[in-house]
Amino acid sequence: MANDGRVSHTQLFVGPEGSGNLALAIAFAQYVNCLKPGIADSCGTCTSCIKFEKLIHPDLHFTIPTISPYKQTRELAQDWREAFIANPYLSNFDWLNTIENGANKQGNITSEECRDILHRLALTAYEAKFKTQIIWQPEHLKTEGNILLKLLEEPPYGTLIILVANHTEKVLPTILSRAQTIKIPKLKDTDIEKAMVDLHACNAQKATDISRLADGDYNMAISLVTVDHDGYFERYRDWMRSCFSGKVDELQKWVDEISGTGREYIKNFISYTSQMTRAAFLYRYGDQKLLRINDKELKFLEKFTAFIHSGNLSEITRSLDDAIIFTERNANLKIMFLNLSLYIGRQLKSGNQTS
């Protein structure tokens, strides 16, 4: 697009969490503004590139979710630079966690910020070929997003606006229709594996395990490097057995143990449980070659598969997805896990009605 001189003025980079869509948007803006660009990448050494890499170029503007009392991105500009440079794959959750009192808040893009965008893009560029505005998480724009419609449709000459989203279905249709959508795929397991070995000093087995759990989410892969996930399987196996048996003292002990680990660990563990549940279903109904599990997991699933069927698969995985959200929002973990365990227990004992 850049080499053909056909850079569309309003673009939407949409990709799943951890796909690097934000990092790619910034790299793209850096490339089109590079003073000595190569065929496929910016030079990385010109004055423009150096300012882009530090996120201090005067023509590079960000709009990101903020929380009260902050109303505009510029109030948090320094925090934002530090957070992004430390981890270009960061999630909305990670970002809000870095703001004081931001943990477990939702984040918002305010009408004040929208007016600020109009104001700064109305001014001429200082030095860049493309004055660039990146709007991260436009999912947070509700009716105030309408302030931007005219701008998105017809930005001033030499302006590049890139919206960076995870979920297009949560973006206002009036915004969607004004942007050219670029789909960013999730990362390949082999790429994550390589990065774990090259950049995070993992051995081959650990890199494979992590890439399988992360399922294309590089941000999750990084968090798994520091989390001891070797105990996941045993914890999962014990949980499913206790859920099924319904023995309250056993369940209570298990719940107490997991509730004492960290929220990051818990999110990853629930995500692992969700993958194992799907694997148990696939074991019986799908192509076993597609299962990404190791030998001890396979041995457990041989028996466990009898309890997962089309009548309870989506019920269980949905309750697990909800539990991840509750964990992020600071729910009482013991109550959450006890309720979840009882629910899963009932689901496991429900006969298959549909096939």
Residues in contact with Zn ion by CB under 5 A are: 34, 42-43, 46, 49
Q: How far is the CB of 42 from Zn ion (least distance, A)?
A: 5
Q: Which is nearer to Zn ion, 51 or 309 (CB)?
A: 51
What DSSP string describes 12-24? EEE--TTS-HHHH
Q: Which is nearer to Zn ion, 2 or 331 (CB)?
A: 2
Contact present, 90 and 84 (Cβ < 8 Å): yes
Is the previous residue joined to 69 through a cis bond, with omega within 30 degrees of 0? yes
The residues, any chain, with a CB within 8 Å of residue 140's CB and separated by 6 or more, are 65, 107, 108, 109
Q: Angle CA(294)–CA(296)–CA(299) in degrees, nearest 5?
A: 105
Between the CA of residue 284 and those of 111, 144, 277, what are the distances in Å? 52, 49, 12
Contact present, 218 and 282 (Cβ < 8 Å): no
Q: How far is the CB of 45 from Zn ion (least distance, A)?
A: 6
Q: How far is the CB of 319 from Zn ion (least distance, A)?
A: 49
Q: Which is nearer to Zn ion, 49 or 162 (CB)?
A: 49
Q: How far is the CB of 43 from Zn ion (least distance, A)?
A: 4
- CA of residue 38 relative to chain centroid, distance: 30
Q: Which is nearer to Zn ion, 38 or 260 (CB)?
A: 38
Q: Which is nearer to Zn ion, 43 or 348 (CB)?
A: 43
Helix (H, G, I), strand (E, B) or coil at 282: helix
In eight-state DSSP terms, residue 141 is -
Nearest to 197 by CA among 205, 209, 207: 207
Q: How far is the CB of 48 from Zn ion (least distance, A)?
A: 5
In eight-state DSSP terms, residue 350 is S
Helix (H, G, I), strand (E, B) or coil at 136: strand
Contact present, 38 and 236 (Cβ < 8 Å): no
Q: How far is the CB of 125 from Zn ion (least distance, A)?
A: 16
Residue linked to tokens 């069927």: 309
- CA of residue 201 relative to chain centroid, distance: 23
Q: Which is nearer to Zn ion, 24 or 336 (CB)?
A: 24
Q: Which is nearer to Zn ion, 40 or 290 (CB)?
A: 40
Alpha-carbon gap, residue 39 to 283, rounded angstroms:
46
Q: How far is the CB of 198 from Zn ion (least distance, A)?
A: 24
Q: How far is the CB of 120 from Zn ion (least distance, A)?
A: 23
Q: Which is nearer to Zn ion, 46 or 313 (CB)?
A: 46
Helix (H, G, I), strand (E, B) or coil at 10: strand
